[in-house]
Amino acid sequence: MKTRRSAPLAHPWGAIAPLLLLLALLLPLSGADPGEGEDGAAPKRRPNILFILTDDHSTAAIGAYGSTLVPTPHLDRLAAEGVRFDRLYCTNPICAPSRASILTGLSSVHNGVIDNVERFDPNLPTFPKVFRANGYRTGLFGKWHLKSTPTGFDRFAVLPGQGHYYNPDLLFSDPEGGPPERRRIEGHSTERITDLALEWLFPEDAAAAERPAASEPFLLLLQYKAPHRNWMPAPAQLGLLRDPPLPLPETLHDTHPTRSAASREQEMSIAEHMHLFYDLKWRGGPQEDGLGKAMNGLLERMSPAQRALWDAAYAAEDAAFGAASLEGKALVEWKARRYLGDYLRCIAGVDDQIGRVLAALEDRGILDDTIVIYTSDQGFFLGEHGWYDKRFLYEESARMPFIVRHPATIEAGRVDRSLRQNFDIAPTLLEAAQLPPLAGIDGRSFWGAVAGRPEEEPPSEVYGHYFEYPGVHAVKRHVGIRTERWKLIHFYHDIDAWELYDLQSDPDERVNRIGDPTLAGVRRELEARLDDLRERYEDDPGAIDDALAPRKVAHDGRGLAVSFDPAPRRDHGGDPAVMLTDGVARSGSRFAPRTREGWLGFREGPLTLELALDKPRSLSSVALHLLDEPASWIHLPRAIELWTAGESGEFTRKGVVAPPRGDGGGSARWVELGGVETEVSRIRVRIEPLVTIPPGSPGAGKPPWLFIDEVALRFAE
């Protein structure tokens, strides 16, 4: 393989993003005056854009892609009257990174969202900003999941974080440009998100002066939470698919005999990692652990009427399961069917709501003037290989559904099998509306392929890179390339393993042929192409590993024992007595996966830490390394007090610090407690956490977590 050049970890948008966006907004629309048609004819109305995005929707659960698991008549209609893309792939198959790439046309390294914790930079150029600046009315309703406040929209109502299925809270945009208002609305999120979108599109009750002009085109991003974990269907779908038993994939009991250790060390197995109560809704499952308490909280959100319907829907299955005492493969199959039933019921609910939106457009005579796109942020495992969730670059996970309907442009019923990626979507939508392109992006428009026009050089490969390890579900970091026939994957970081699949003879990716001597030439070629793609996208895993590595801290208190009151609730590695003086500060890079490995977590306050010195010393300063990650309920404390004691043993308060509040993006912060310059024998640090999480943050009103991983001491010479 070629030697990779050193690559930057993030696209240098900080200085040039505003200029690039301004240039895009000032460019003329396809070289023509938008007020004139060809040859001075009446102006041609620009198409509306309806962009529907779901979460974790596998192509294996859409009738148009050949599925028989659940009826999807409205999605099937879009495909029958439009074009279905069979090979559009997510470059980083996890929610937030995919959404950031869709918005910007940039890879994860270039937009900065490499995992589900990084905050999306609201100053980045996005396709909605270009639509809005060129006369489109822009709206966003549903799941956002990018932590920063949405920009580029006239109106939005978004779920905070992952959001809730039942009686969800939403953040509503302020018409005056102020901070979003958080309100709870009653009902199921799939249905209520549709209501809000239709109310924005067609405000019949608004005063005439406030209604949109008939000639004003719209861009609507309709983004459903469903069918994301933990798969809570709406009341209207609770009775579906209860009988007969759902079919299961052939690879459900796969033992991965030829795959690398990465496939066996994951934590997304239906057999081992599904929670009986949280995931599978069985009330006999554990309810006192974290997920059990979370599920009880979700049920408590329901109204009495909703709860009665919910309990009734599961009663018969619960009774049968409780009496069956299933074990082994039979138990795995019950879990798979129970999970699939709820997952598919959520999809049926989405399909129903898509039908509502299509009917509303049709009733007003504008359906055929609207480019309708359906996609999901990535695929999902529906029991294939024994798994649920996504993350791997295998087909079930990385392949996204992508369907487009626009009768004026698209021949009905077409299927396109060209290779595409999710960062190609933004330039495609801009070309579809004949709007200026975003500058300096990784994606390329495939609107010509949507319209059925031949391409001179269609893509011959797609690239993928999954970063979030260590992290939820324990899928190793890996990069990969997929061509028409082959797929090569390299798992790295704490593993060095390669996998090679012949997708022509082995579409289910069961047989890893990396060691096949007859394919040595194929492997060499794919490794070289993978290396070229890393260079093209400035994506060097080694450089990123360097940024994520813990940093050694050469302070004078290393190795001192620390006592706690109260004791830490979570021990993330090592002996708690010396963890806070081990001389390691975990990365505060914006690229760091927030796995909290090596941090100590506390939830009761106040917290008191004490350190005893081996002899009286002149103390110069004390600093704490704290985690500020509001999206994960981890907040900086409201105050930190420093106390010291001399040989008498009596403590004296030396000062108090109020750590500055961050922007919510997630980072590790050093908090200095100031100089002392006195002889001390003992040091006490008293930390006052926030009483409750503030409004507007995930978990608002509940006790926050405090995470700390180092106490650094400096002594005077």
Please say if the pLDDT value at position 21 is more than 70: no
671 φ/ψ angles, rounded to the nearest 5 degrees? -120, 115
> For residue 4, what pLDDT is reported?
28
Instruction: Classify residue 5: in a domain, yes or no.
Output: no
In the predicted model, what is the mean pLDDT of residues 271-293? 93
Q: Which helix (H) or strand (E) covers residue 114, if one does?
A: none
Q: Are residues 636 and 576 in the same domain?
A: yes
- Candidate from 107-121, 501-515, 656-670 with smallest mean pLDDT: 656-670
The two three-digit tokens of residue 381, written as one number? 């495992």
> For residue 630, what pLDDT is reported?
76
Q: Which domain holds residue 496?
A: 472-546
- What is the residue-averaged pLDDT of the chain? 88
Q: Are residues 477 and 522 in the same domain?
A: yes
> For residue 14, what pLDDT is reported?
43
CA–chain centroid gap for 487, Å, is 24
Q: Are residues 561 and 524 in the same domain?
A: no
Instruction: Classify residue 651: in a domain, yes or no.
Output: yes
CATH number of 586's domain = 2.60.120.260
> For residue 570, what pLDDT is reported?
55
The two three-digit tokens of residue 34, written as one number? 């938008």
The answer to whether 158 touches 170, Cβ cutoff 8 Å, is yes
Q: Are residues 95 and 175 in the same domain?
A: yes
d(CA 277, CA 281) in angstroms, rounded, equals 4
> For residue 209, what pLDDT is reported?
60
| Contact partners, residue 76, CB within 8 Å, separation at least 6 | 62, 63, 64
Q: Are residues 156 and 91 in the same domain?
A: yes
Please say if the pLDDT value at position 535 is more than 80: yes
> For residue 666, what pLDDT is reported?
56
> For residue 150, what pLDDT is reported?
96
Please say if the pLDDT value at position 33 is more than 50: no
* Closest by CA position to 595, among listed 551, 552, 629: 629
Instruction: Classify residue 331: in a domain, yes or no.
Output: yes
In the predicted model, what is the mean pLDDT of residues 501-515? 98
Please say if the pLDDT value at position 511 is more than 80: yes
In the predicted model, what is the mean pLDDT of residues 457-474? 92
Residue 287: helix, strand or coil by DSSP? coil
The answer to whether 157 touches 184, Cβ cutoff 8 Å, is no
Q: Are residues 32 and 152 in the same domain?
A: yes
Predicted structure pTM score: 0.81
Predicted confidence band of residue 569 (pLDDT cuts 50, 70, 90): low
Residue 604: helix, strand or coil by DSSP? coil
Instruction: Classify residue 1: in a domain, yes or no.
Output: no
* Closest by CA position to 181, among listed 158, 161, 164: 158
pLDDT tens sequence across 289-342: 889 999 999 999 999 999 999 999 999 999 999 999 999 999 999 999 999 999
**DSSP symbols for 413-435:** TEEE---EEGGGHHHHHHHHTT-
Domain boundary (340, 373, 399) is at 340
| More reliable by pLDDT, 57 or 178 | 57
Instruction: Classify residue 641: in a domain, yes or no.
Output: yes
Instruction: Classify residue 3: in a domain, yes or no.
Output: no
Please say if the pLDDT value at position 361 is more than 90: yes
pLDDT tens sequence across 399-417: 999 999 999 999 999 999 9
Predicted confidence band of residue 107 (pLDDT cuts 50, 70, 90): very high
Q: Which helix (H) or strand (E) covers residue 324, if one does?
A: helix 304-324
**To 5 degrees, how large is the angle CA 430–CA 434–CA 439?**
50
Integer-rounded Cα Rg, in Å, for the chain is 27
> For residue 424, what pLDDT is reported?
98
| Contact partners, residue 420, CB within 8 Å, separation at least 6 | 85, 87, 88, 89, 402, 446, 449, 459, 462
The answer to whether 401 touches 375, Cβ cutoff 8 Å, is yes
As a whole-number percent, the residues of the chain with pLDDT over 70 amount to: 87
Predicted confidence band of residue 7 (pLDDT cuts 50, 70, 90): very low
In the predicted model, what is the mean pLDDT of residues 640-647? 92
> For residue 213, what pLDDT is reported?
67
Instruction: Classify residue 461: in a domain, yes or no.
Output: no
Please say if the pLDDT value at position 47 is more than 50: yes
- Candidate from 383-397, 440-454, 558-572 with smallest mean pLDDT: 558-572
The answer to whether 600 touches 707, Cβ cutoff 8 Å, is yes
The answer to whether 45 touches 369, Cβ cutoff 8 Å, is yes
Please say if the pLDDT value at position 353 is more than 80: yes
Predicted confidence band of residue 483 (pLDDT cuts 50, 70, 90): very high
Q: Are residues 504 and 628 in the same domain?
A: no
Residue 262: helix, strand or coil by DSSP? helix
d(CA 5, CA 11) in angstroms, rounded, equals 16
Q: Are residues 319 and 349 in the same domain?
A: no
In the predicted model, what is the mean pLDDT of residues 370-395? 98
Q: Are residues 583 and 706 in the same domain?
A: yes
347 φ/ψ angles, rounded to the nearest 5 degrees? -65, -40
Q: Are residues 561 and 662 in the same domain?
A: yes
Domain boundary (426, 454, 482) is at 454
In the predicted model, what is the mean pLDDT of residues 252-278? 96
The two three-digit tokens of residue 644, written as one number? 């010291």
Q: Are residues 335 and 365 in the same domain?
A: no
* Closest by CA position to 229, among listed 420, 390, 362: 390
As a whole-number percent, the residues of the chain with pLDDT over 90 amount to: 69
> For residue 588, what pLDDT is reported?
54
Instruction: Classify residue 459: in a domain, yes or no.
Output: no
| Contact partners, residue 69, CB within 8 Å, separation at least 6 | 60, 61, 246, 247, 340, 344, 382
d(CA 317, CA 276) in angstroms, rounded, equals 13
Q: How many domains does the chain have?
A: 4
> For residue 44, what pLDDT is reported?
66
d(CA 217, CA 135) in angstroms, rounded, equals 7
Domain boundary (516, 546, 576) is at 546
| Contact partners, residue 568, CB within 8 Å, separation at least 6 | 576, 600, 601, 602
> For residue 628, what pLDDT is reported?
83
Q: Are residues 96 and 172 in the same domain?
A: yes
CA distances from 234 to 165, 183, 187, 188, 486 (A): 8, 20, 8, 6, 41
> For residue 30, what pLDDT is reported?
35
Predicted confidence band of residue 669 (pLDDT cuts 50, 70, 90): confident
* Closest by CA position to 51, among listed 173, 165, 146, 138: 138
In the predicted model, what is the mean pLDDT of residues 75-104? 98
Name the H helices within 509-564. 520-536, 541-548
CATH number of 542's domain = 3.30.1120.10
pLDDT tens sequence across 571-599: 455 567 788 898 888 765 544 444 556 77
pLDDT tens sequence across 670-712: 888 877 777 899 999 999 999 888 876 767 788 888 888 899 9
**DSSP symbols for 567-589:** --SEE-SS-HHHHTTSSEE----
CATH number of 36's domain = 3.40.720.10
